[in-house]
């Protein structure tokens, strides 16, 4: 498969430092490792070769609805100048984009390198969250936010920032060694084309139950904003970084409580269906959908069931 072969180039660029072509790429494209991990048009220049553009932009993420190259590379953080703060897996097996989606969403520096978030002062390092967030002077603002009674969102943001800071403070950069990379999809940590091909072909058919596939299919074609599609997609395949899932993955959080009501642990069932706050939203939506249309999370996932109910209520769902 051509795409998997191009991914192999990305892998070689990350790993083969001593090859002559690798030194050429370093001179020609500057920090090629960072750029292949970024996989974004934003790191391309107009005069880059089409070969290079193909390598950078080639990924499975967008059209194949699976994870992409960045999610499959585990980064061994040393100096952090080739690793992406938000998009790389360098703190555990999840990216910070996934663990802290709200902060990622607010960030105006989404392609920040890990090394850029480190401040050095007389040989002593500290983490400066203002850089990956894209906000100057954020560190002086943080503690004040925490101690003032503020609205729910800014409270949630400052708590998330505190959680992120706790995670980061456990990590120390190593100024001597270079960042290294391991492939997540093989047991020996080395890239193979077969590992990608089998994942991509399996992911569509086997991983999800048929009702979920049907639902995703309808949703993907629906005329709704792309970010809503992506959010819903992650919700249905259980990839939203909710607190129950994060705790299960061993991430230490200050609280597991639902940020709305603080009475129950945050899970998708609670947050989207059972929380008192969420219920008030549903109560507005039900009458709009049809008077007797109410459903649980399981029913919601089975789109056929909603269509059936909607038909009885005489409205169109899709
Ligand atoms: Zn709640």
261: CA distance to ligand 1 center in Å? Answer: 4
> Which regions of 139-184 does DSSP assign to beta strands (E)?
180-183
Question: How many Cβ atoms are within 10 Å of 172's Cβ, its own excluded?
Answer: 9
211 CA distance to ligand 1 centroid (A)?
27
pLDDT of residue 226: 78
pTM: 0.61
Q: Which parts of the chain are beta strand (E)? A: 73-76, 118-121, 124-127, 180-183
**C-alpha angle 178-181-187 in degrees, rounded to nearest 5:** 145
What is the rounded distance in angstroms from the CA atom of residue 79 to the CA atom of residue 129? Answer: 17
CA 212 / ligand 1 centre spacing (Å): 25
Which stretches does DSSP call E strand in 58-122?
A: 73-76, 118-121
Residue 131 CB coordination number (10 Å): 20
Q: Which pLDDT score is estimated for 44?
A: 92
DSSP, collapsed to helix, strand or coil, labels residue 123 as: coil
Query: From ligand 1's centre to the CA of 219, what distance in Å?
Result: 26
- Kindly give the distance from the C-alpha atom of residue 164 to the centroid of ligand 1, in angstroms, as a whole number: 22
CA of 260 to the centre of ligand 1 (A): 5
- pLDDT at residue number 88: 92
Q: What is the DSSP string of 45-100?
A: -TTS-HHHHHHHH--SHHHH-S--HHHHEEEE-SS-SSSBTTTSB-BTTB-HHHH-
Which stretches of the chain score pLDDT less than 50? 1, 140-149, 205-206, 317-318
Locate the DSSP E strands across 150-216. 180-183
Mark residue 100 as left, alpha or beta (left: phi above 0; alpha: psi -120 to 50; beta: remaining): beta
The confidence score (pLDDT) of residue 206 equals 46
Q: Which H or E run contains 299?
A: helix 297-301
The rounded Å distance from CA 265 to ligand 1 centre is 8
How many helices and strands, by DSSP H and E, does the chain display?
Answer: 19, 4
Cα of 65 vs centre of ligand 1, distance in Å, is 30
Instruction: State the distance from the centre of ligand 1 to the C-alpha of 99, rounded, in angstroms.
Output: 19
Ligand 1 center–CA 277 separation, angstroms: 7
Whether 294 contacts 287, CB under 8 Å: no
CA 239/CA 14 separation, integer angstroms: 27
| C-alpha of residue 274 to centroid of ligand 1, in Å | 7
Distance from Cα 273 to the centre of ligand 1, integer Å: 9
C-alpha 279 to ligand 1 mean position (Å): 10
User: If you measure from the C-alpha of residue 282 to the centroid of ligand 1, how many angstroms do you get, rounded to a whole number?
Assistant: 14
The pLDDT of residue 179 is 95
CA of 278 to the centre of ligand 1 (A): 8
CA of 269 from ligand 1 middle (Å) equals: 10
Ligand 1 centroid to residue 89 C-alpha, Å: 30
**Ligand 1 centroid to 132 CA: how many Å?**
29
pLDDT of residue 263: 84
């Amino acid at each position: 498969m051509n795409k998997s072969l191009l991914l192999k180039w990305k892998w070689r660029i990350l790993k083969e430092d001593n090859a002559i072509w690798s030194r050429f790429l370093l001179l020609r494209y500057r920090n090629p490792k960072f750029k292949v991990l970024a996989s974004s048009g934003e790191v391309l220049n107009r005069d880059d070769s089409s070969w290079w553009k193909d390598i950078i932009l080639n990924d499975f993420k967008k059209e194949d609805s699976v994870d992409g190259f960045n999610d499959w590379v585990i980064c061994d953080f040393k100096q952090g100048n080739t690793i992406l703060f938000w998009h790389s897996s360098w703190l555990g097996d999840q990216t910070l984009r996934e663990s802290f989606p709200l902060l990622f969403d607010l960030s105006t520096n989404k392609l920040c390198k890990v090394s850029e978030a480190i401040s050095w002062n007389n040989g002593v390092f500290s983490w400066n969250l203002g850089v990956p967030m894209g906000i100057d002077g954020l560190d002086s603002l943080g503690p004040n936010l925490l101690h003032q009674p503020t609205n729910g969102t800014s409270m949630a943001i400052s708590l998330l920032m505190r959680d992120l800071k706790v995670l980061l403070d456990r990590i120390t950069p190593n100024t001597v060694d270079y960042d290294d990379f391991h492939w997540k999809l093989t047991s020996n940590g080395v890239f193979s084309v077969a590992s990608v091909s089998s994942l991509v072909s399996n992911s569509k058919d086997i991983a999800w139950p048929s009702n979920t596939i049907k639902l995703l299919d309808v949703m993907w074609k629906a005329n709704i904003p792309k970010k809503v599609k992506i959010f819903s997609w992650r919700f249905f395949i259980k990839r939203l970084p909710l607190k129950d899932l994060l705790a299960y993955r061993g991430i230490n959080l200050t609280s597991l409580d639902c940020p709305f009501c603080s009475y129950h642990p945050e899970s998708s069932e609670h947050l989207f269906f059972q929380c008192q706050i969420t219920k008030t939203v549903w109560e507005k939506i039900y009458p709009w959908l049809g008077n007797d249309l109410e459903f649980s999370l399981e029913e919601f996932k089975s789109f056929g069931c909603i269509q059936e109910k909607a038909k009885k209520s005489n409205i169109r769902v899709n």
